[in-house]
Structure 1
């Protein structure tokens, strides 16, 4: 394709070509100039005055230099180096504010292989937000964006996903994002929390059972794999699946076939599998605690879910978002000094711990402003409940205890401390188990198990 830059009819033809894409698309020159845009782009991001020779990084980011010179990945620069299409996750300025956008850059060459232009395709990432959001993943840090880029790549496939990250880092929210971003989004995502389940309970939960198959089976029960048919099955804490049950899980994944407990009828199901764990499965395989064949089946596309320590730049955004989720009736804010305390804290419990701290803070404060002293008190509660938690990174600013003050302190064992904490929560919330589970940051099923 030989195109002369001054030939306006050629540009008209290229602009018409852009209308063939089902997403916002722009034509970019090798020196970053926007030459044409399609109607999808106008509808989603607004018009671009082409006569002003605007460059792509000026329009999308407000930069005066290309993205790679401003500390971000640049798909155009990457395409120039590789000679093939490249894909990058960016945060773009839009009429609605900053948004995550999946950018794909396609090079256009002439008949002699000379690079002429680029077609840039832009797809908004609907499962995440750079601003406060009640339902989406939120974040803009580099580690968050790396995770989000993997989510956008794998969502539209049926590949099994393994989410790896510390407890409390938000793996279940990531699983929902993968599900919502794919073609199964209109069907159910069914979750099984594998931690603490015996062999028989795991099998019954997963496959269902028929009436009379065991003591207490008073009626037929549909298993979660059957409920997940056409949708997604999320196995949380897959590392806790009993070794004896792993072979049955492997057969289910490989064939889609299963039998409810006590039944001779073989059923079939079709689901997308997402697993999550905070454990090192590779080490468990070496130790003989996890089947190697199952490990390779679930580890098709691993995604690292960063800890809160890895995404400190998101702390303010996460705090504001969580406060809005905690209380829809009253708008809470942290003072600058209170936020500074949080910024110096290590968060061994990650986002779940942050959520707990903010829940406590809204209960302890008498106004909508959460002061430094309130946050310090909330962190002191965590310290008392779990003496193993490392709060050394915040000790200087928190001034939680004076030197030597803890020498005569009588430390509780973890089980007793947890029991006391839950008892106090139950009393405070008048035995409202759903509210207690929310404040404690655990599932309702886990709460019932802990209260037994």
Structure 2
């Protein structure tokens, strides 16, 4: 078996994807030029273990909390794929690993060959763009995306608003054979029934009032690439049959034309709506649902990946205030992790942008986070009179020159002002502030003991 390795590595060296070969003891016996360039900074890695080079682990992956493709391959006897966080010269990045056992003529495994493919738009650390995260729920979603990306299968992304469905769709596109072709977004929620057909399929000159020239539709613009149908649950029922025809045959007609046209698109759809319930209520076609959901992927809400919140918060800070190099205190991070974030990553971004505006220094403290969260909590509901000012004088912006006791006093003042403005139950107020009802009760009682009457509602 070992006598065949030079010929194998000569072949692998000409491949653009990083490859390594390692033995039963995890020792790398050879690495091609692409691997040395992308993961080893040109250094010779022969003799080192694959887990030490890729992860900086001292033990094999399956003993350090990672899924090990070698262990799987020994059980299955065949090729295995996993998603791993690898160290690269630019930091940790998600890498799709495809491992195959190399067997001798008697069927015994002596070596393994690994191919690595970096996933576009996803990182395990702070990044300037794309998705970031390390939580198991997030990684499971990425692994699903990597499995479907190289295929032509339609994908249905399911998840609450603000979970990053468009970013995931773009990541799938970038990891597909269509990566160099257009990625075209159709904002289904913003299109009326009269506009939807024209926007998606295009129209001829004079097809309707205002059609002063012919226009290509988005389906035609995406030819060869990916058509992303955002909020597909909002497509008018009368238009769904025409979309179904496009998905099944690749054909359509311009509005105002009888000529049949063709486009080659891979469709990724996304929705926060319960499509199955809509089917039972005859608001969504069942045949269209099954055509869209060849490969459904659920994106986890932020509350299911709380351990990612500090990383996401610092990443978002770098995006909303790139020139300031802000960081978040430990207390601030813990406060963020305790907040429910019903608006998910979109809400977290808003909170971090507010906190950056409240902070005059380089470290975002707990008081800044409290102010950023309270600003949203004070937003009046329908029929509720708005407070005289969004930020009362008692919650003036803190500075780093303040002591921790002063910052706590300002946070208490912010809490008290929110309680004064609230007209519902204490449970509702606790939910809006992102703390437990018991914690809210203790803090209000402490403030009441300082001479402030408790009229926050029961």
Indicate whether the TM-score tops 0.5. Answer: yes
Task: Give the Å deviation of 1:348.
Answer: 0.4
Contact kept? 2:45, 2:53, Cα under 8 Å: no
Match 2:379 to one of 377, 385, 394: 385
Counterpart position of 2:270: 276
2:429 matched to 1:409?
no
Counterpart position of 2:438: none
Contact kept? 2:39, 2:54, Cα under 8 Å: no
Summarize deviations over 1:397-430 as a string: whole Å, max 9, x none.
x76645994686399xxxxxxxxxxxxxxxxxxx
2:331 matched to 1:337?
yes
Contact kept? 2:378, 2:418, Cα under 8 Å: no
Task: Give the Å deviation of 1:28.
Answer: 1.7
Task: Give the Å deviation of 1:342.
Answer: 0.8
Match 2:101 to one of 97, 102, 107: 107
Q: Distance in 2 between matches of 1:48 and 1:263?
A: 63
- CA 1:14–1:410: 2 relative to 1, 3 Å: closer
Counterpart position of 2:449: none
Q: Distance in 1 between matches of 2:124 and 2:113?
A: 26
- CA 1:204–1:18: 2 relative to 1, 3 Å: closer
Q: Does 125-134 or 172-181 show the bigger shift?
A: 125-134
- CA 1:404–1:62: 2 relative to 1, 3 Å: closer
Counterpart position of 1:249: 243
Counterpart position of 2:345: 351
Q: Distance in 2 between matches of 1:17 and 1:214?
A: 60
- CA 1:407–1:98: 2 relative to 1, 3 Å: closer
- CA 1:118–1:408: 2 relative to 1, 3 Å: closer
Give the structure-1-normalised TM-score: 0.80
Task: Give the Å deviation of 1:378.
Answer: 1.8
1:93-242 matched pairs, under 5 angstroms: 93-242=87-236
Task: Give the Å deviation of 1:386.
Answer: 6.9
Match 1:266 to one of 260, 275, 279: 260
Q: Does 12-21 or 273-282 show the bigger shift?
A: 12-21
Task: Give the Å deviation of 1:48.
Answer: 3.7
Task: Give the Å deviation of 1:64.
Answer: 2.2
Unmatched runs of 5 consecutive residues or more in structure 1:
389-397, 412-452
Q: Distance in 2 between matches of 1:298 and 1:244?
A: 17
Q: Distance in 2 between matches of 1:332 and 1:64?
A: 33
- CA 1:367–1:286: 2 relative to 1, 3 Å: same
Counterpart position of 1:447: none
Counterpart position of 1:32: 26
- Figure out how many residues of one structure are paired with residues of the other and give that number: 395
Task: Give the Å deviation of 1:22.
Answer: 3.5
Aligned to 1:125, the other structure's residue is in SS state strand
Match 1:308 to one of 275, 291, 302: 302
Q: Distance in 1 between matches of 2:305 and 2:202?
A: 40
Q: Distance in 2 between matches of 1:91 and 1:134?
A: 18
Counterpart position of 1:374: 368
1:418-437 matched pairs, under 5 angstroms: none
2:80 matched to 1:86?
yes
Contact kept? 1:127, 1:181, Cα under 8 Å: no
Match 2:287 to one of 274, 290, 293: 293
Task: Give the Å deviation of 1:196.
Answer: 4.6
CA RMSD of aligned residues (A): 2.6
Counterpart position of 2:357: 363
Q: Does 209-218 or 74-83 show the bigger shift?
A: 209-218
Summarize deviations over 1:375-405 as a string: whole Å, max 9, x none.
21221222233769xxxxxxxxx76645994
Aligned to 1:147, the other structure's residue is in SS state helix
- CA 1:106–1:262: 2 relative to 1, 3 Å: same
Aligned to 2:305, the other structure's residue is in SS state helix
Q: Distance in 2 between matches of 1:112 and 1:407?
A: 78
Unmatched runs of 5 consecutive residues or more in structure 2:
383-410, 426-458
Contact kept? 1:22, 1:40, Cα under 8 Å: yes
Task: Give the Å deviation of 1:255.
Answer: 1.6
Q: Distance in 2 between matches of 1:331 and 1:31?
A: 43
Structure 1 stretches (4+) deviating beyond 6 angstroms?
A: none
Give the structure-2-normalised TM-score: 0.80
